[in-house]
Amino acid sequence: MHQIVELQQQLVPDLLDVMKKRYSILHQVMLSDSIGRRTLASALSMTERVLRAETDFLKTQGLLEIHSGGMRISEAGKQLLEQLEPFYKTMFGLSELEEKIRSHFGLSKVVIVAGDSETSAQTKREMGRAGCQLLNKVLRPSDVVAVTGGTTIAQVSSQMSSNVPLKTNWFVPARGGLGESLDYQANTIASTLAKRTGAQYRLLHVPDHLGQEAFASIMQEPNIQEIVAVIRSARIVIHGIGDAMVMARRRKLDSEVIEEMQAEGALAESFGFYFDRNGEVVHKMQTVGLRLEDIVNTEVVIGVAGGRSKGEAIAAIMRFGHNDMLVTDEAAALEIVNVIEQDKAAGS
């Protein structure tokens, strides 16, 4: 396919430009559910006059539905986008990025969406949609799925769906709560995933960070022991990835602990653990939920994270070596590839 794209670029470069433009329009409309022409033109940095001509064409092809309240993508449009996705990724070089990252870290699957989720809500939404697709592919009857919190994983939960109720599946939080916005808590995400798929769920009503005495006491509770046993039986874990210092401050860790972590080179945070550049754990939280050994033994671990500033942090978590799959965006992927190239140069 890559060779075909190169030949088309030489022979009819304007054809690829038109394809990219129309693909981008359909893709943006799909992510937005319903959108007005002015808003769409702004999102795509396109004049309304040019956009009107393109959307009128897409409507005549049966790919867009235009109503007084805005535009929506048709079922035919959704099917076309799905069929074009591999070709689109080749056009923009995303397939090559995916393979570089996949092979370097020994992952089974890498999915890269165009854009930067730090600056585009639509890109973050698309990452959530890609996370849903991966989860649906690996999910089996009776699976327990543990999920962490965060804005990106919340996008996965808001877009998850199933054609048939997943009555034998369970969604559970991987850890306790941070005490921040309820929408982004692991408990909320687990319950949303279950409700959108007809699955079952369990909640863990404890703080993410506990002192030694509190931890010992709460782990004596039969109800807590029961839910923790379910969480630690998860076959699939879906997690986000954060900047170590940002997450340490959000967890309100003591300044002395933060300084110690900085001295140890803490770069990334995931599952409540802090990792250095080489993927080594430099700090562990005393918390109820998944332990490091549980993650190591989990059959399917899916990381969903993006944004240019998180590229190094994502690479650090991939070096930890226990992720199966990664969903990220183009901006983070380019940073990850830079890290890979630096590693190769340092090793040569």
CA separation for the pair 176, 118 (Å, rounded): 26
- What average pLDDT does range 140-145 have in this prediction? 97
pLDDT at 285 over 90: no
- Percentage above 90 pLDDT, the chain: 54
What CATH number was assigned to the domain covering residues 93-347?
3.40.50.1360
CA separation for the pair 146, 296 (Å, rounded): 14
Asked if 151 and 184 touch (Cβ cutoff 8 Å), the reply is: yes
pLDDT at 259 over 80: yes
| Confidence tier at 101 by pLDDT (50, 70, 90) | very high
- What average pLDDT does range 61-88 have in this prediction? 88
pLDDT the model gives residue 10? 66
- What average pLDDT does range 168-183 have in this prediction? 80
pLDDT the model gives residue 348? 46
pLDDT at 92 over 80: no
Which of 6-10, 24-28, 131-135, 190-194 has the lowest average pLDDT? 6-10
pLDDT, greater one: 130 or 44? 130
- What average pLDDT does range 64-88 have in this prediction? 88
pLDDT the model gives residue 344? 81
Same fold, 2-82 and 93-347: no
pLDDT at 204 over 70: yes
CA separation for the pair 179, 207 (Å, rounded): 7
Tokens of 317: 């978590």
Residue ranges covered by each domain of the chain: 2-82, 93-347
What CATH number was assigned to the domain covering residues 2-82?
1.10.10.10
3 state DSSP class of 66: strand
Share the mean pLDDT of the chain.
Answer: 88
Looking at the DSSP assignment, which residues form a beta bridge with residue 242?
Answer: 269
| Confidence tier at 138 by pLDDT (50, 70, 90) | very high
pLDDT the model gives residue 12? 65
pLDDT at 105 over 50: yes
pLDDT the model gives residue 27? 84
- What average pLDDT does range 90-100 have in this prediction? 84
Asked if 58 and 25 touch (Cβ cutoff 8 Å), the reply is: yes
CA separation for the pair 291, 322 (Å, rounded): 13
- What average pLDDT does range 341-347 have in this prediction? 81
- What average pLDDT does range 91-111 have in this prediction? 91
pLDDT at 209 over 70: no
Q: What is the pTM of this model?
A: 0.80
pLDDT at 179 over 60: no
pLDDT at 32 over 80: no
| Confidence tier at 176 by pLDDT (50, 70, 90) | confident
| Confidence tier at 11 by pLDDT (50, 70, 90) | low
Indicate the DSSP class of residue 90: H
pLDDT the model gives residue 8? 62
Return left, alpha or beta for 272; rule: phi > 0 is left, psi -120 to 50 is alpha, else beta. Answer: left
